[in-house]
Amino acid sequence: MEVPKHIAIIMDGNGRWSKAHAKPRHFGHKAGLESLKKIIEAAAKRGVSYLTVFAFGIENWLRPNDEVNYLMNLFLTALRRDIGRLHENSIRVQFIGDRQRVHADLIRSMQEAESLTRDNSRMTLIVAFNYSGRWDIREACQRLAEKVAANQLSAADINEDLISQNLSTAAWPDPDLFIRTSGEQRLSNFLLWQLSYAELYFTDKHWPEFNEAELDKAIAFYAARERRFGKISEQLKGTENA
């Protein structure tokens, strides 16, 4: 079965899972972290090269302060506690997103994680933290505009490749498979440019319920898809027979 090279995931439903179990929301976030650990290992075991997860969106600052503070502390604790295991398993960790609003202690831990794991090659885990797709595209446009203003680039030279090269994800291929849990069927400002040709997989399972078996279902869905990238089936068959 063909395995996607790059999987992107919106880990949705921690709060709804907590509510269904008559627990406070932080109970679901903690359970969701445990699910993430299992999925990282499962993805690496199945030969996925890149796994991008949406950990915290810029819009998530609008949530109640106590929940935001809990998420920040949970993220910091997880980084300090679990980065060693990721390193031992040769997982490279990278972060994308706007770091201006992030606390200095958390930024320091993120940088330390990136530095420690930078030579690992089994799989790259890309964590989108304080991220939004619109922010990413805006930042790329501003960088290109600055080059045009400095006469380093002509506006006529700006094409899709140049925009891609100035996104926060420029170092990695675009995702092949997008997964969103908990029944929602939207991108929610996640990797808006990069998901243009990804296969979209939605499941009613809440994120704390998403396990290896559910990941295999998503991969099987991907393997059954015909990825045409604007071509027709006959063209693809002709390429295969060439």
Residues known to be catalytic = 12, 60
Tell me which residue has tokens 């949970």: 74
d(CA 31, CA 18): 9
Q: Containing H/E element for 53? A: strand 50-57
The sheet with strand 199-202 has its strands ordered as 91-96, 123-131, 50-57, 6-10, 177-180, 199-202
d(CA 157, CA 139): 18
d(CA 33, CA 75): 9
Q: Give the closest residue to 167 by CA, choosing from 191, 144, 140, 127.
A: 140
Q: Containing H/E element for 240? A: helix 233-241
d(CA 2, CA 62): 39
Tell me which residue has tokens 């170092």: 171
Q: Coil, strand or helix: which one is 46?
A: coil
Q: Containing H/E element for 123? A: strand 123-131
